[in-house]
Amino acid sequence: MGLNYPIKQMMDDNGVLVDGSCTSDLDATLIEKLYYHMYRIRTFDQKAISLQRQGRIGTYPPFGGQEAAQVGSALAMGEGDWIFPTYRDHGATLTYGADMTRMFLYWNGRIEGCVPPEGKNIFPPAVPIASQIPHAVGASWAEKRKKTDRVAIAYFGDGATSEGDFHEGMNFASVFQTPTILFNQNNGYAISVPFEKQTHSKTIAQKAAGYDMRSVRVDGNDCLAVYFETKKAVELARTGNGPTLIEAVTWRAGAHTTADDPGKYRPADKGKNIIDPLVRLERYMKKHDMWNEQKIGEIKSSLKDEVDQAIAAMEKYPDAKAEDMFDHLYSELPEQLLKQKESFLALADKEE
């Protein structure tokens, strides 16, 4: 079709700057902030996997390898903007200001985990694939109608682009020129289905052409490229220049969830040459005299303490109540669900 969407990169695998277009904005403060948040969410992620293995939280979807995509994009958002995550974007929401204890509570089955901090427009994680995309477009359209300058970002994986909600959201965003960032993390697999088997498109970015929408394809393991391209898209949206589809090409290093075995569908050597996004940033920092062993050690120690404290706070909560599954669906339960609730609670009482 002649559609060409090269992957934009600012920093290569060795931490060498290959695009100097934004060097004036590349200060030590930004680099340290990127590293801090990437290491913070990795610490959270690794601990969450351990907690699930110990039976202390439920099934958990790791995001290891996607830290640059999540942190780079979330840091580009402004105060008051809207975040619509999937079940794998807790790294982005933590970066944007979600409470870590509540994040653990979510994966422990408690409704408190869906409640964002005061003043933070963070929707609960969307488990149904692509359902959050129309929500994000609708929220950003509402902000446009209210004449604010707030924008919304919707996170989704490559598999979501095969869902109707993706295309409906894209079409609505395009028609009404909503201030929306549609942020795709193409990690190579839609659960167990490789990218090339779930879409015939060579890229996700080219799907925007059908909606006459701006799109860009970035190296999702390059936190600098992700940050500056998302920032550009945010500013365009904020100033009335419509939506952008961003395809961040990244890699899901681990399993789809802790209930998944990627060895059954993914070749063992696939991804072996992909450089860890944190390693790439470390190399950049060392090349530019930003690496301080003592300071980095203190950061890592403080983040470990933060995660441990969040876990301790989570485990002080009583067990989730069974009726929570019913009590937050309707203002008044329909008769059928009311009977289900009564039956369920009666069964729970017998088991106790």
Same domain, 190 and 334: no
Catalytic residue list contains 252: yes
Same domain, 247 and 344: no
Q: In 3-state terms, the chain is what percent helix, strand and coil (to 5)? A: 50, 10, 40
Domain-embedded: residue 277: yes
Same domain, 269 and 258: yes
Same domain, 287 and 340: no
Active-site residue identified among 110, 150, 217, 252: 252
Same domain, 85 and 124: yes
Active-site residue identified among 88, 214, 256, 280: 256
For residue 216, what pLDDT is reported?
97
Q: Return the CATH number at 129.
A: 3.40.50.970
Query: The domain containing residue 333 runs over which residues?
Result: 322-352
Provide the token pair at 44.
């959270």
Q: Please tell me the distance from the alpha carbon of residue 154 to that of residue 230, in angstroms, as a whole number.
A: 12
Same domain, 352 and 264: no
Domain-embedded: residue 8: no
For residue 1, what pLDDT is reported?
46
For residue 285, what pLDDT is reported?
96
Domain-embedded: residue 2: no
- pTM comes to 0.94
- Report which of 98, 69, 63, 42 is spatially closest to residue 246, judged by C-alpha positions: 69
The total domain count for the chain is 2
**CA end-to-end span of the chain:** 63
Q: Please tell me the distance from the alpha carbon of residue 234 to that of residue 288, in angstroms, as a whole number.
A: 28
Burial 314-326, CB ≥16 within 10 A → b, else e: beeeeebeeeeeb
Element (H, E) at 186: strand 180-186
Same domain, 67 and 156: yes
pLDDT along the chain (352 residues), means of 10: 81 93 86 97 98 96 97 97 97 98 95 93 96 98 98 97 97 98 96 92 96 97 98 98 98 93 90 93 95 95 98 93 84 92 83 64
88: number of CA atoms within 13 Å, CB side? Answer: 32
Same domain, 157 and 180: yes
Same domain, 193 and 331: no
Q: Please tell me the distance from the alpha carbon of residue 29 to that of residue 39, in angstroms, as a whole number.
A: 15
Active-site residue identified among 145, 265, 288, 330: 265
Catalytic residue list contains 265: yes
Q: Please tell me the distance from the alpha carbon of residue 101 to that of residue 310, in angstroms, as a whole number.
A: 5
